[in-house]
Structure 1
Amino acid sequence: MTGTPIPGESIDMQISDILRAISYPANKDSLVDAAREAGASNEVLSMLDGLPEQDYTDITSVTKLIGSNYGPGLGS
């Protein structure tokens, strides 16, 4: 991944950068692995790891669940 180092970014930006770099469809494990490889914070890893085990067709399908699990401001 290129650009700003992930650990220095806000949670929203970390999630956004990670999800944009993933090829879809992707399952939960792929999301968590991509975040870990990007150096995401433990909080972001925990959020992604808390998602249901399923295939996600696009960024919206992931952010919708993150937003519903963690409140407004995340995943919007």
Structure 2
Amino acid sequence: MRFPLLSAAVVAAFAALSAPAFADGVTGTVASFDPATRTLVMSDRTVWLLGDAAPATLAPGQRVTIVYRSAGEDGLTGVARVTVD
């Protein structure tokens, strides 16, 4: 009876360790957006390289939410999506 519980705990531990990417998000106000380079500058002077996640248009003053992927302490791995609030 203890073996199924032990094996379930081992499987759960490996599943937790094997998931390297996490999603997180930030909300802020657009200061500027360059559609040619897909570079977004927020009002707090944070610069985001949006890549393919960039909406067709972003205008100064709009509130946006950026959902990005991170690898824990290894930093940002990419922007998943950008939504205008």
TM-score exceeds 0.5? no
Question: TM-score scaled by structure 1?
Answer: 0.29
Higher relative contact order (CA 8 A, sep 6+): 1
**Higher gyration radius (CA):** 2
Question: TM-score scaled by structure 2?
Answer: 0.27
Which structure: greater helix fraction? 1
